[in-house]
Structure formats: structure tokens, C-alpha cells
Chains A and B, each alone.
Chain A
Amino acid sequence: MSASTHEQAAHGRYDQVTIDRTGFWLFLFSESMLFLGLLASRFYLQGTFRPEELSQTLGLAITMVLLVSSVTAYRAETAIAHGDQTAFLNNTLATIGLGVVFLGGVGYEWSQAFQHFPPNTGFGTVFFSLTGLHALHVLSGVVLLGLLYRNGRLGKYSAEDHWSPEAIVKYWHMVDVVWVFVYMALYLV
């Protein structure tokens, strides 16, 4: 994401990456607050109630998938920081793949959940709102990683200029960390 002429003129004296990092961290904090609100609502509405039909195996499996995807995302970022284009592309692709698997798992979970606790029941409301909002974030992360892969193929990033990969990987980690809390709140309490 190169800056416009006006932006470049405005920031001649400053390090653009410092500015971008500051703003992006603020954005991530701000975004997490949305989940904090929903997590609090889960306990406010349902206490620690958890229906027996919730599949622990599936929950654990998709959690592992998402955690592993954070590792590949991290490897992609490190690779491009060292200028290793091949490893960057491969790890990005692996992250996309794991993200898609996760979404598939959530989709399957929903098809089961619909039968036992649809959204118009108490637990269904908190379950579908939390996983739905999170899945929306995973989906946008997958789209962003796709753009990253396409631009990476065009050779747009290098060891000197890799703010976009860094930002998107940070976003992916945020989505991951949020899931850890969502998982605990829905499956483990």
C-alpha cells in the first residue's frame, strides 16, 4: 500500500512504518473490544451453561488448526523480512489453507448446532454471535492473505518493504488470540 502524493508530502520527516505500526496496534485493540463485549454477554445471558451436544473433539480440532496457522503466518512474515520469497509464498499459502479448513470446521459445527440450539434459543444466540463474528474475521483474514499471496507473486514485497505482510499477519494473530478466548468461553467453562 504505497502512500498518495499528499501523504508522502505530509510525512516527509517521519518514518511511515512507525506511524503505520502505531495506528495498526490501536486498530487491533479497538477490534478486540468488540469481542470483549460479546464474551461478557455470553456470561451475562447464560452464565457458565454449556449444552452437552457441543462437540469437544471438533472444537479442539479446529482450535489446533487455527493455532498451527499462526505458526505458518509467523514463518511467512519472518521469511519476507529476510527476503526469502519462496518460503514467504509457501507459508502464506499454507496459512490460507488452514484458515479455509477452520472455516469448513465451523460450517460443519453450525450445521450440527442448528439442530440442537438454533440462534433463537439462549445458548444459540451467544454461540452463533460469537462464532459468527469470529468467522467473519477469519474470512476477511483469508481474503487479505489471498491478496498478499497475489501481490507476493508479483514481487511487491522485499526485506526492506514488507509492511503489508507484517500488518496482515498481525491481524491474523489477533484473530487467533481472540479464538482462544472464544473457545474457552464456549467449550471449556
Chain B
Amino acid sequence: MKTISKGLVWGAIGFVIGAGLLAVIRLLLGLSAWAAEPSITLGSLTAVPAWLLGVGVWDYWAREWFNLPLKKYEDTGWRRYFSFSADHKVIGIQYLVTLMSLFLIAGLLAMFIRLELMQPGRDYMDSATYNNIMSLHGTLMVFVGVATIMGAFGNYVVPIMIGAEDMAYPRLNALSYWFLPPVAIFLLASALTSGFDTGWTGYPPLASVNRMGQIFYNLAFFTVGFSSILGAINLITTIITLRAPGLSWGRLPVFVWSILGTAIISFLFTQFVALAMLMNLADRVGGFSFFDAANGGNPLLYQHVFWFYSHPAVYVMILPAFGIILEIIAHFSRKPLFEYNWAVFGMMGVVVLSALVWAHHMFTSGMNGPLRVPFMITTELISVPTGLVFLSALGTMWRGKMNLKTPMLFALGVVFNFLIGGITGVFLSDVPVDMHVQDTFFVVAHFHYTIVGGGIFGLFAGIYYWFPKMTGRMYNERQGQIQFWWMFLGFNITFLPMFWLGINGMNRRVADYVPELGGVNLFVSMASFVLGAGFLLFVYNMVVSWVRGPKAGPNPWGATTLEWMTSSPPPLENFTHPPRVLADPYGYGEKDAPAHAVVGAEAAAD
């Protein structure tokens, strides 16, 4: 708590410094000292570093540059979760709890969207409010989708899975997390000033002339980008350099591979979304004309730059979910992962192809017409490596001894939902079909099937799978299974009819629609309220189990990867002795297969 209040005070001082500098320059030029948008932008760009210094960069890091002694970390007790901790396990939980809170808020906003769309006509809010709510829902959900699995499980599980004691740069890791509170503050400030109604994509020319809330959207996205890049560099370095002795690339658990692929996308492409945000800020507050067609700019540039990151970003959302479900399906089917090499190859193929497909978001934008065909082809090609991942999942289950606990149910849910999401993606990548369904609810249904049905279901699979490891306690299995069926059925009856709505001409991002679609929309809204209520059960289960669930023990699933070979939760340095890896991690059903690794005193013996 002290950390946060100190950060806020320093951040406020930083804001005054930035805005003050601008005021001095403006006064020298003979202008008024305060101009809302430039002052806020400059102030925010200095406030974020000042906030970071305040929460801990100064105390635990920068003091040594000035030959001052560093402060000591809080290593135990609940307070460390509210402090600048360099322990990857604390940071993982910080990410998870923060982002799940944002997820619930964004979910609540979706309820308001469905409330308005329940009947034709405008019933509960005006169009501007609807657009603001829709935009905030989308933006928050994208942040949750991009950061949650990588931030929470990438941090918590990956170092343990590779037998390391922490990340390569523990303090940089803490820094990446503490970028997130300013993001929440920016989005709050946006909602309190005027909101933004561009949707999560923020296209100019609307974004160039919009009310002031738009710049907070730009600043928030820019800040998330920083966090993402630093986190990705840290994860790649960790996976390359800190693997335990014997853990060769061919023995790496498949979840670690998926996080590596995700991190490669993040560290190479996130710059582009940061650039798109900076360009819009430069246009609005710096007098540039990137997107102003009257002065030599071109609004289409934004879409190119934005999607060059934001399409790969959807693989940032889905790849770690693939990693989680492959991991879970192998352990819960008690079989070696089917065609491990091809599954890894598939995920890396997605990483490579993700850079070559961005313009399929722009088929109707007025881009160069003939160029749409190569983008159609590359987009359809992506289904090939994705198919490899799918075949690996199915092949692993084939004649396996399946244990249908909650994590496995969610993993199977991903296989089902993502199949629908993936196949409808083929329709959308097809130029003639896209002409018809662009910007309709068909698109909404498609990306909810991939990102919620795939990414978020994968996230829930991971939460249930690693909950015993992270808390040391077991969740309530019965409630977990009820929540799965509730969420799975609620999700499918909510989003399946949306394909039909889209084909029949219901536009997305509009508060109203033709009256003929009223019946189906009423059904969808009711279904979505059922889906939303399901998350209350999840929160109840998690909170109660965390406080007084039964002790889980080190390895409740009988799984073989390294994180299950240490206590739950693991000690500060993860293992009492550095582990040694002897074989690949999925040695189920093979006679005399050696254990994946030796840990503890045995590992230190020779």
C-alpha cells in the first residue's frame, strides 16, 4: 500500500514536471501556459517514469547508480503482493489478479452492451454512451487477452518449468508489471473526461478529431506496449540462457515453446502499435500530419501500422492457450505428446506467418485491390500450422486414459470452440465473403470464438491447472466442473446465433439494428447474462479455495514437468537444489522411461 501511494505521489510530481516544462516553452513562445491535450500528453509521458521510480525503481534499482545502498525487498507475507517484488512468483500472481479484475470489469461492460441490444431501437442509453462502453470493453479485453497468460503463467510457471530460480532480469520483470496501473488510470481518466468511441482499433480520421478521451486511449495502449516488449525480452532471454542442465530444446515442455513464440511476436511487433499511437498523438498535439489527407498524410497508414502489430497480437492471445491445452491434454490423457516436433513446428509457423497477414483486416478499406489476393492466401495458409497443433492435441487424446477434471474439460472446450472460430476465419479471409460480412456480427462472433473460446478458455484451463501450485490449495472440483459447463454452454448459445445475425446484416459497433432481428437478439442477450453470471461462481470458488481449500500437495495431477517436482507453492528459489534434466517430459506409458528430471539432494549428489 505504501508502494502504491508513493508511486502516485511521484507520478503526480512527474506530471507537474512534464506539463510545467511545456508551460515554460509555451510562455517563451508567447502562448498560454496550459493547453489541455499537449499538457496532458507531455505530463503523462513524464508521469509514467516518475510513477515507476516511485513504486520501486528508485529504491531497489536506481540508488546504486548514485552509489547509495539499495532497500531490502519484502520477501514474505501478503504485503509483498502490493510491493515492488522481484520474485517471479509474486509478479505472476500480481499479473493474474490485476488482469482478472480488469477482465471482470470488461465483462460487466459487455452486459451493458447486450442490455442495449436486447431490443431494437435505443432503449437505455444514447449512441455516444453505447459507443464509449463498446470501445472500453474492447480495449480492456484486448489488454487482458494480450497480457494475462504471458504475464501470469509466463512469469510464474516458465522459470520453474525450465528449472531456473528466477527470470533473467528479475527487476525488469517487476518493472513490466508496474506499467499496468498507469494503464488502468489512463482508461479511467478517459472514461471520466469524455470517453472514446472509436472501438479498440482507434482509426483516424475519427481518432484525429475526436474528443479528448482519445488521447488517453493512445497513452494507455502505448504504455501497455512498453510492458509487453520488456516482458517479452525478459522471457526470451530466460528461456535461452537459464534452462537447467540437460534441458535441451527438444526436451522443452510445449508450454515453454508456446511462450517463446508469443514473446518473439511481442518483442518484434509491439513497436508498431506504439508507433501508431505516437503518430496519432503527434498529429493531435504536435501539429504533424501523418493521417491528414489534406496535408500530405494518409489515414490508411494508421491501419497498416496498427494491424502490423495487432494481427500478430491475436496470436499473442491464442498461442499460449495452445501451449496450455497441449500440456494439459498430454498429462490428463497419460500419453506422450503426439508428434511433439510437429506441434512445435506448427506454433513457430504461426509466428512466422503472423507477420504476413495484416492487411486482411483492410479488404474494404480502399487498399490496393490486387494486393488483397496475396493477403487472402497467406491468411488461409495459417490454418496449416494451426492444424498441426490441432492434430497434435487430437492424436494425444486418441486412445488415451482421459481424466476429465476441470482443466481437461476447459482444454477440450478450447479444441471445440477454436475449431468453429478457425473455420469461420477462413470465410473472413476470403475476399468476396469478407466484402459481405465485414464489420458485421459475423466478425464479432468469429473473434469471440477464437479469443474467448480459445484464449480465455485456455486461460481458465491454466488457472485451474496451476491453482494448486500457485496457492498450495485445491479448488472445489465439483464447482469447477459446474462452472465449465455453465461457461461452455453459455458461451456457445451466446455467440453461435451471432454468426446468423451478421450474415443477416447486423452491423457491429452500432447501438441499433433492423427490427426483424429483435427475437434473436433478445435470445442472445439473455444467454449472455447467463454467461456473465457464471463468472460469479468462478470468483467464489477461487476466493474460498484460496483461503480454506484442502492442501494440494506438490503434485496433485501426477504430472511430470518440473514445476510439479517442488513444493506447492514453491520456495523462494523454486528448488532446494538446481535440478538436472534426464529425458523428455512426456514419458507416459513407456516401459522403464527415465524420470524427466532429478531434483533435491539427488540432483546435487554428483
Within 8 A of A (CB), among B9-65: 60-61, 64-65
CB of B168 within 8 A of CB of A23, answer yes
- Which of chain A's residues have a CB closer than 8 A to the CB of B297? 45, 122, 125
CB of B275 within 8 A of CB of A37, answer yes
Q: Is A123 engaged at the interface, CB distance under 8 Å to the other chain?
A: yes
- Which of chain A's residues have a CB closer than 8 A to the CB of B65? 1, 147
Cα distance A31–B168 in the bound complex, in angstroms: 19
Q: Is B318 engaged at the interface, CB distance under 8 Å to the other chain?
A: no
CB of B229 within 8 A of CB of A30, answer yes
Q: Is A129 engaged at the interface, CB distance under 8 Å to the other chain?
A: yes
Q: Is A121 engaged at the interface, CB distance under 8 Å to the other chain?
A: yes
Interchain nearest-CB distance for B98 vs A (Å): 22
Interchain nearest-CB distance for B232 vs A (Å): 8
Closest to A32 in B: B271
CB of A120 within 8 A of CB of B233, answer no
Cα distance A176–B241 in the bound complex, in angstroms: 28
Cα distance A122–B167 in the bound complex, in angstroms: 45
Within 8 A of A (CB), among B275-316: 275, 279, 282, 286-290, 292, 295-298, 301, 304-305, 308
CB of B304 within 8 A of CB of A44, answer yes
CB of B64 within 8 A of CB of A121, answer no
Closest to B171 in A: A4
Q: Is A38 engaged at the interface, CB distance under 8 Å to the other chain?
A: yes
Mark contacts of B223-235 with chain A using CB atoms, 8 A cut-off: 1 yes-contact digit, 0 otherwise.
0000001000110
Mark contacts of B167-192 with chain A using CB atoms, 8 A cut-off: 1 yes-contact digit, 0 otherwise.
11111000000000000000000000
Cα distance A4–B87 in the bound complex, in angstroms: 12
Contact segment of A8-16, A74-82, A103-111: A8-16
Cα distance A37–B225 in the bound complex, in angstroms: 15
From known contacts A44-B304, A120-B289, infer whether A4 and B272 are also in contact, taking CB-CB under 8 Å.
no
The interface centre, meaning the residue of A26, A45, A147 with most chain B CB atoms within 10 A of its CB, is A26
CB of A23 within 8 A of CB of B296, answer no
Cα distance A147–B62 in the bound complex, in angstroms: 13
Q: Is B484 engaged at the interface, CB distance under 8 Å to the other chain?
A: no
CB of A37 within 8 A of CB of B289, answer no
- Which of chain B's residues have a CB closer than 8 A to the CB of A41? 275, 279, 290, 301, 305
Q: Is B138 engaged at the interface, CB distance under 8 Å to the other chain?
A: no
From known contacts A6-B87, A10-B165, A22-B241, infer whether A34 and B275 are also in contact, taking CB-CB under 8 Å.
yes
Mark contacts of A19-56 with chain B using CB atoms, 8 A cut-off: 1 yes-contact digit, 0 otherwise.
10011001101110110011001001110000000000
Q: Is A18 engaged at the interface, CB distance under 8 Å to the other chain?
A: yes
The interface centre, meaning the residue of A31, A46, A125 with most chain B CB atoms within 10 A of its CB, is A125
Cα distance A23–B168 in the bound complex, in angstroms: 8
Q: Is B327 engaged at the interface, CB distance under 8 Å to the other chain?
A: no
- Which of chain A's residues have a CB closer than 8 A to the CB of B289? 119-122, 124-125
Q: Is B166 engaged at the interface, CB distance under 8 Å to the other chain?
A: yes
Q: Is B1 engaged at the interface, CB distance under 8 Å to the other chain?
A: no
Q: Is B340 engaged at the interface, CB distance under 8 Å to the other chain?
A: no
CB of A34 within 8 A of CB of B242, answer no
Cα distance A38–B274 in the bound complex, in angstroms: 11
CB of B295 within 8 A of CB of A122, answer yes
- Which of chain B's residues have a CB closer than 8 A to the CB of A123? 296
Q: Is A115 engaged at the interface, CB distance under 8 Å to the other chain?
A: no
CB of B166 within 8 A of CB of A45, answer no
CB of A122 within 8 A of CB of B282, answer no
How many residues from B make CB contacts under 8 Å with A?
A: 49
CB of A10 within 8 A of CB of B272, answer no
Interchain nearest-CB distance for A31 vs B (Å): 8
Interchain nearest-CB distance for A128 vs B (Å): 7
CB of A37 within 8 A of CB of B271, answer yes
CB contact between A6 and one of B73, B229, B578 (< 8 Å): that residue: B73
CB of A122 within 8 A of CB of B296, answer yes
- Which of chain B's residues have a CB closer than 8 A to the CB of A23? 168-169, 233-234, 237
Mark contacts of A100-138 with chain B using CB atoms, 8 A cut-off: 1 yes-contact digit, 0 otherwise.
000000000000000000111111110011000000000
Q: Is A7 engaged at the interface, CB distance under 8 Å to the other chain?
A: yes
CB contact between B170 and one of A2, A7, A27, A125 (< 8 Å): that residue: A7
Interchain nearest-CB distance for A117 vs B (Å): 9
Interchain nearest-CB distance for B205 vs A (Å): 15
Q: Is B463 engaged at the interface, CB distance under 8 Å to the other chain?
A: no
Q: Is B321 engaged at the interface, CB distance under 8 Å to the other chain?
A: no
CB contact between B296 and one of A26, A125, A129 (< 8 Å): that residue: A125
CB of B269 within 8 A of CB of A33, answer yes
Interchain nearest-CB distance for B22 vs A (Å): 16
Q: Is B86 engaged at the interface, CB distance under 8 Å to the other chain?
A: yes
CB of B295 within 8 A of CB of A10, answer no
CB of B272 within 8 A of CB of A37, answer yes
From known contacts A26-B233, A38-B275, infer whether A119 and B287 are also in contact, taking CB-CB under 8 Å.
yes
CB of A4 within 8 A of CB of B288, answer no
Q: Is B240 engaged at the interface, CB distance under 8 Å to the other chain?
A: yes
Q: Is B267 engaged at the interface, CB distance under 8 Å to the other chain?
A: yes
CB of A2 within 8 A of CB of B241, answer no
Cα distance A122–B272 in the bound complex, in angstroms: 20
Closest to B241 in A: A19
CB of B170 within 8 A of CB of A120, answer no
Cα distance A27–B240 in the bound complex, in angstroms: 14
From known contacts A19-B237, A29-B268, A119-B287, infer whether A37 and B578 are also in contact, taking CB-CB under 8 Å.
no
Cα distance A119–B287 in the bound complex, in angstroms: 7
CB of B268 within 8 A of CB of A37, answer no
Closest to A22 in B: B237
Q: Is B70 engaged at the interface, CB distance under 8 Å to the other chain?
A: yes
CB of A119 within 8 A of CB of B86, answer no
Closest to B274 in A: A34
27 A-B pairs with C-beta separation under 8 A:
A1-B64, A2-B64, A4-B60, A7-B86, A9-B573, A11-B165, A14-B242, A22-B240, A27-B233, A30-B267, A37-B271, A37-B272, A41-B275, A44-B304, A45-B296, A119-B287, A119-B289, A120-B289, A120-B295, A121-B289, A121-B296, A122-B289, A122-B296, A122-B297, A125-B289, A128-B288, A129-B288
Which residues of B are interface residues toward A (Cβ below 8 A)?
A: 60-61, 64-65, 70, 73, 86-87, 164-171, 229, 233-234, 236-237, 240-242, 267-269, 271-272, 274-275, 279, 282, 286-290, 292, 295-298, 301, 304-305, 308, 573, 578
